[in-house]
Structure 1
Amino acid sequence: MKSEAARRSSGESAGHEPVQVSAGSSLPVTGAHEGHTRAAVVQLLLEEGPISATDIGARLGLSAAGVRRHLDVLIEAGEAQEASAASWRQRGRGRPAKLFQITAAGRGKLGHTYDDLAGAAMRQLREIGGDAAIEDFARRRVQSIVREVEPVGDGEPEDVESTAEEIAEAFTSAGFAASIRPVGNGVQICQHHCPVSHVAEEFPELCEAERAAFAELLGRHVQRLATIANGDCACTTHVPLAVPRKTS
């Protein structure tokens, strides 16, 4: 009979747990197989992290022990970690809950195919055409992603938020696992995964082209707060819903 440690290392389980994804979730989980369950945990760490074990359990219908087992395996493999600033989402009194997030190693296993080839091609492009060629390529690339998104019309807050949602949907279709969330007097476009982050580390023009496209479509200045290429857990862009009136 296998020990618990052996079962954990091989991805097996002594018993299966129900996987119940909350309404509205896009997690591709249809069964209770251990591998599917762990994939769902990884997906939540990717799209919602930093996230607490309690929230993971609530979303997937897992017991606290079940969540902890999956997290322990992922942490031991270097694919997940406890968030360094766990108190930022603390609400109310009491001890702050531990929050967990995916690591660069864990994100790398989700697919950075052809990174070396893409990096070599970009370096060659820069050698041939200079910085202008890189910037033009980056601009064309992001335009191909948001080509069906219409620019904001009169700039009403609801129109800005709707367009931000369309941008997030377009980037999700391109593999970025994007979403928006209300923050203060605006919204944030959050890209929880970046399939080109390894290349963007060397070519930040890719990130800047995205920010410029967001600003153009939304008709206002937007601010990049974090990027996966710089080691953050998500690419986050703040979008103000209202533009300050000009004073004479």
Structure 2
Amino acid sequence: MTEVLAGQSLVLEPDERTRDRVLTAVLEHGPVSAAQLGKLLGLTPAAVRRHLDTLSRHGVIEVKLISNAKSGAGRPARRYVVSRQGQTEIGDDYLEIAKLALTELSANRGDQGVIDFAERRFAAMEASYRPLVDAAGSDVAARSKALAAALNADRFVATSNSLNPHSAMAAEQLCQGHCPIQELATTFPEFCDAETEVFSRLLGVDVRRLSTMASGGHVCTTHVPTGRAVVRKRDTAPADASGTSPIISNHQQERP
């Protein structure tokens, strides 16, 4: 890994490169234990703790004490997370670290590795939003508005506007004015795909991404069909000639 400062190339020492790997792993997997980090990175316990101690002294990471969720007995376990100071100091470096981590993941496991990572990231969003969306009932338009409210509460600056009401072409236009991972999604559109799939599952219908900020749009816009003639459950998608449902990447569906 090379950093460029004032027009000069600065090659990081092995310890610094390893420390960056430890920090990246804490960002990706935290709260995480020292033992888990060792297994993830192929480092000895002593090496992991040395780098964790250095990061802790600089205030970049901190320890969270996690109680035993099953029994509540015993001493709380030590887990490492990036501190608020660390998040502030990392700034744009986090983006570069994340891109590096995802690039290495893709190199080691192919596109499926990035897809799996993106799906795991958005699984937490789906679990968090599911009760809020389900509380809106079975009406798709109401569910879309509930989803927009949930997104808005998480500062996605979201709205859900009704189009062509009371017709077979009725739809909601779900818009997001802020994307915290826009730069990452520009390089790895799998994140947009994973989010769109979550929206489909939460709303119970096939949705279509019309634009994303990652692909140059001013907002992320998702078309949510609500008219009876067009609404269909995802698990009843028509099969192609081979008898299987066609699978199309959501970012391939986008319209300019």
Query: Under a length normalisation based on structure 1, what TM-score does the superposition of the two structures give?
Result: 0.48
| TM-score normalised per structure 2 | 0.47
Q: Relative contact order (alpha carbons < 8 A, sep ≥ 6): 1 or 2 greater?
A: 1
Rg (Cα) greater in structure? 2
